[in-house]
């Protein structure tokens, strides 16, 4: 049973580059940025979510042009040639594609791992040389950054408008005034609840009725007038 090779596929051209030797390991990183808000009197600052950062995939790839290797039935790297011809296949994935005016979006696949990304960093360390100084072995330290766009984000994240309103179920004998007194500390603010729920009458609330109790100050969506 042949060992499955990891592939780096250029999604713009369709060219698939099999890695010469599968990586010994890889690292997936993900970070989120929070802002700290210092509040006087609190023992620690409050955290506020700012944004998510791109997930990254990092690994080291070994590249060799000294020994003979086979990919399927094809012999490659048999001429003790310049290993930079091989490393360039990977590093060139950072070049700008004429058709898109940007480096290509890639697909790194290996076993169950499938990572849509761009090549964001590539370090080359040459570790073996011919007598004439031509490098024949190298280690590539590469980092791929997750590729995201507006369409992908919209499909995966079903965003909802932030709503800080409360929900209240009317009990027997409750009125808008009594609810406003308990919720806002002022029975005169019953109009806020009436307008927010488009109630035609303020009395005779039916038990079980669900009301939205908006946060103050409240702006009437029809008139634009700010209440309380």
Q: Quick one: pLDDT at residue 155?
A: 54
Average pLDDT on 102-124 reads: 95
In a domain? residue 82: yes
| Among 104, 129, 156, residue at a domain's last position | 156
Q: Are residues 46 and 118 in the same domain?
A: yes
How far apart are the C-alpha atoms of 32 and 53, rounded to whole Å?
A: 6
Average pLDDT on 18-40 reads: 89
Q: Quick one: pLDDT at residue 46?
A: 78
User: How many domains does the chain contain in total?
Assistant: 2
| Among 131, 156, 181, residue at a domain's last position | 156
Tracing tokens 């009301």 back to the chain, one arrives at 211
Q: Are residues 22 and 68 in the same domain?
A: yes
* DSSP H/E element including 187: none
Q: Quick one: pLDDT at residue 18?
A: 93
Pairing of strands 135-146, 56-64: antiparallel
How far apart are the C-alpha atoms of 18 and 108, rounded to whole Å?
A: 10
Q: Are residues 152 and 172 in the same domain?
A: no
Q: Quick one: pLDDT at residue 163?
A: 54
Q: Are residues 40 and 131 in the same domain?
A: yes
Name residues whose C-beta falls within 8 Å of residue 156's C-beta, 6 or more positions apart in sequence: none
Q: Which domain holds residue 56?
A: 7-156
Q: Quick one: pLDDT at residue 74?
A: 52
Q: What is the CATH number of the domain that holds 185?
A: 3.10.350.10
> How high is the mean pLDDT of the chain?
84
Q: How confident is the model at residue 156 (pLDDT cuts 50, 70, 90)?
A: low
Q: Are residues 27 and 89 in the same domain?
A: yes
How far apart are the C-alpha atoms of 45 and 110, rounded to whole Å?
A: 43
Q: Are residues 34 and 114 in the same domain?
A: yes
pLDDT at 154 over 60: no
């Amino acid at each position: 049973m042949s060992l499955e090779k990891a592939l780096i596929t250029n999604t713009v051209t369709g060219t698939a580059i099999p890695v010469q030797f599968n990586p010994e390991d890889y690292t997936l990183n993900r970070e989120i940025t929070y802002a700290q808000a210092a509040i006087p009197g609190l023992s620690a600052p409050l955290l506020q979510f700012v944004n998510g950062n791109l997930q990254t995939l990092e690994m080291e790839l070994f590249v060799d042009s000294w020994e003979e290797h086979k990919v399927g039935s094809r012999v490659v790297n048999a001429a003790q040639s310049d290993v930079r011809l091989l490393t360039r296949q990977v590093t060139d994935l950072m070049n700008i594609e004429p058709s898109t005016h940007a480096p290509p979006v890639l697909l790194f696949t290996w076993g169950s791992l499938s990572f849509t990304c761009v090549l964001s960093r590539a370090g080359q360390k040459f570790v073996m040389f011919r007598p004439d100084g031509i490098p024949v072995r190298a280690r590539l330290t590469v980092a791929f950054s997750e590729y995201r766009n507006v369409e992908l984000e919209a499909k995966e994240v079903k965003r909802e408008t932030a709503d800080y309103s409360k929900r209240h179920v009317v009990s027997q004998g409750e009125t808008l005034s009594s609810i406003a007194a308990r919720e806002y500390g002022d029975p005169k603010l019953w109009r806020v609840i009436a307008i927010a729920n488009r109630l035609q009458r303020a009395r005779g609330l039916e038990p079980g009725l669900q009301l939205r109790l908006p946060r103050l100050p409240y702006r009437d969506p029809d008139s634009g007038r700010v209440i309380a």
